[in-house]
Amino acid sequence: MSTINSQDDEDTFKILIATDIHLGYMEKDPVRGNDTFVTFNEILDHAQKNEVDFVLLGGDLFHDNKPSRKTVHACLESLRKYCMGDRPVQFEILSDQAVNFYNSMFPWVNYQDENLNISIPVFSIHGNHDDPTGADALCALDILSCAGLLNHFGRSASVEKIDISPILLRKGRTKIALYGLGAIPDERLYRMFVNKQITMLRPKEDEDSWFNLFVIHQNRSKHGATNYIPEQFLDDFIDLVVWGHEHECKIAPCQNEQQHFYVSQPGSSVVTSLSPGEAVKKHIGLLHVRGKKMKMQKIALETVRTFYMEDIVLADHPDLFNPDNPKVTQAIQAFCMEKVEIMLDNAERERLGNPRQPGKPLIRLRVDYAGGFEPFNVHRFSQKYMDRVANPKDIIHFFRHREQKEKNDNDLNFENLIGRPASEGMTLRVEDLVKQYFQTAEKKVQLSLLTERGMGEAVQEFVDKEEKDAIEELVKFQLEKTQRFLKERRTAAEEEKIDEEVRKFRESRKKNAEEEDEEVREAMTRARAHRSEDAVLVAASSDEEAMDTGMKGSGDSDDGFPATLTRGRGRARGRARGARGQNPTARGSSQRRRAFGSLKPDPLNSSKSYSEDIIDDDSDVEVLSTASSSKVSLRLSSTPSLGKRGSQSQTSRGVDFESDEDEFDPFQSTATSRRK
């Protein structure tokens, strides 16, 4: 095959793409505790060996919103080991970095910091697991960003209107507009798209010459009427969407026939649930971009723990199992043991070809025992595989497929909902559980002042983000608002009239979803402020206590200096200083030379035609090219995402699949990228 010459290589971006790494998942497990850290090292090692221009992460770098010290330390260790060095960075930033990194005290990309020596920049949006929380709206990625090891972008400055401003990158003659949108609750983002409150800004100069890359972290598959983001909501000028949050690996770009862009879903790099989607082989992607052409190369991860899964329906084997047989349970157990042994043999055979793979595999056998069968003791069954399987406690999962019966749809069996493990891919959320509870509860325990939706979100904040004052502040806020409403209406002091007015007011709030969202946000803000005030008061009290102790100790000291405080006092004193903090000094203007590209919203009317070529060879590489046939007007437009398709005319792009190895592939090259 033909190779790339040096001039072509200077125009080619090489980007390593990964999502949902979930650092710290099951870190306390004696067998699986280090899985996420080992795989993260492998990902960064691939980036270093392939000499990529940068690493692009699609959210959920951390599994917990407040990761442990062990997890943060391991992450910092890996980033410093693989991403710092003397190899120069070949691309430049053209956009206003003060806009791209507005939330940082150091609003510029880390490799331009004169105090750091970065060889591989890492760009990442936040996911739903590591999203900003608290009074200061900080997340774990902000710690990495402040340390200069990662560039956190895609934050939303407003919850009412979002303007997505791209990071404009240029390498030789190739220009990339990198868009990012960190995780937002799906129902809220869905409503914002419908209400045309999302706008993607575009470069004003030569907008058709940019390769538009969008990173998003939302539900892609439909989990409810509005609990996902349809691909049709996204702008059609995008060339490639990197979709995070979904854990099933579908990294090969697939075309959206309506919007004509491509979607790549890298999936997670660690098994976090024993579900069918997680059993798919894990990959990361090496994306090549030159001009408007792109190629995605799949790289299989070798350090991911093997996961085998199988389903059994006992009713499908009438020749083996008869529910009337008194020894049918022993027969079922022997059958399950045989299935597990087969999966263990397959896992061992696969591990022999890959010595980097962890020794003990993950095994899952789901058994449908509907039809009069009884489950056996799974704990006793698991004891036989304690030293051979990484998940011995949940190898077997019994479930019963129930046929639809004539019953009230509003009846809710909480035992069934809670009894099902999260590993089965169940998407039941806390707010849904709260809503269903109050909808089916007796009249005497129904909410009369609060709404189910507001209470559900407050409980969600309490559970997920540890906002301990969330529920209390929501109750106070809505109570105050209702009292003001009654005073304005001059309601007579009669219990029946007051109840009627409260009921009407509650129903009006339920119909206005935006107003209810605003109430919840205001209550959460008050809860965070209340928590911060408490922390300052406690810290100040501890500081005064420590000072008093020091003064008392000074009288007992022979040399006139205060006596040493006890260990407990010392810790309190340290917390007091940390809680008070200091006002940071405003930093002077940077001396760095930057070129800024002006931005504008997507124009209303545009017409373009594309031609797409996908080359599928033995190396699992797909080559895609896009070519625009017309220029879009450079006038300013404030039309959001959904307001542009009314009068668009588009021609479909053809896709050709070829497997001839003699075809010219401009990306096949062994030449290395060197900087000046």
Residues annotated as catalytic (active site), given as ranges: 129
Residue environment code for 399-436, b if the CB has 16+ CB neighbours within 10 A, otherwise e: beeeeeeeeeeeeeeeeeeeeeeebeeeeebbbbbbbb
User: Hunting for tokens 């003990």 — which residue is that?
Assistant: 360
Residue 475 carries which side chain, given as an amino acid letter? V
Q: Would you tell me how many other CB atoms lie within 10 Å of the CB of residue 600? A: 18
Is the Cβ–Cβ distance between 264 and 241 less than 8 Å? yes
Which H or E run contains 602?
none
> Sign (positive/negative) of CA torsion 128, 133, 136, 141?
negative
Q: Supply the DSSP string of 103-114, one letter for each residue.
A: TSSS-S-GGG-T
Between CA 603 and CA 581 the distance in angstroms is 46
SS (H, E, C) 41-70: HHHHHHHHHCCCCEEEECCCCECCCCCCHH
Torsion angles phi and psi, residue 630, rounded to 5: -150, 155
E strands within 327-474?
Answer: 362-368, 396-399
Between CA 130 and CA 350 the distance in angstroms is 33
Instruction: Give every CB contact of residue 571 below 8 A, 6+ residues apart in sequence.
Output: none
Q: In terms of Cα–Cα distance, which of 285, 288, 286, 262 is closest to 655?
A: 262
Instruction: Give every CB contact of residue 515 below 8 A, 6+ residues apart in sequence.
Output: 509
Between CA 636 and CA 242 the distance in angstroms is 27
Instruction: Give every CB contact of residue 637 below 8 A, 6+ residues apart in sequence.
Output: 600, 601, 602, 603, 604
User: Long-range contacts of range 527-534, CB-CB < 8 Å, 24 or more positions apart?
Assistant: 527/461, 527/467, 527/468, 527/469, 527/470, 527/472, 527/473, 527/474, 528/134, 528/135, 528/467, 529/135, 530/469, 530/473, 531/134, 531/135, 531/467, 531/468, 531/469, 532/135
Strand order of the sheet with strand 307-313? 307-313, 362-368, 396-399
Between CA 61 and CA 150 the distance in angstroms is 11
Torsion angles phi and psi, residue 367, rounded to 5: -120, 120
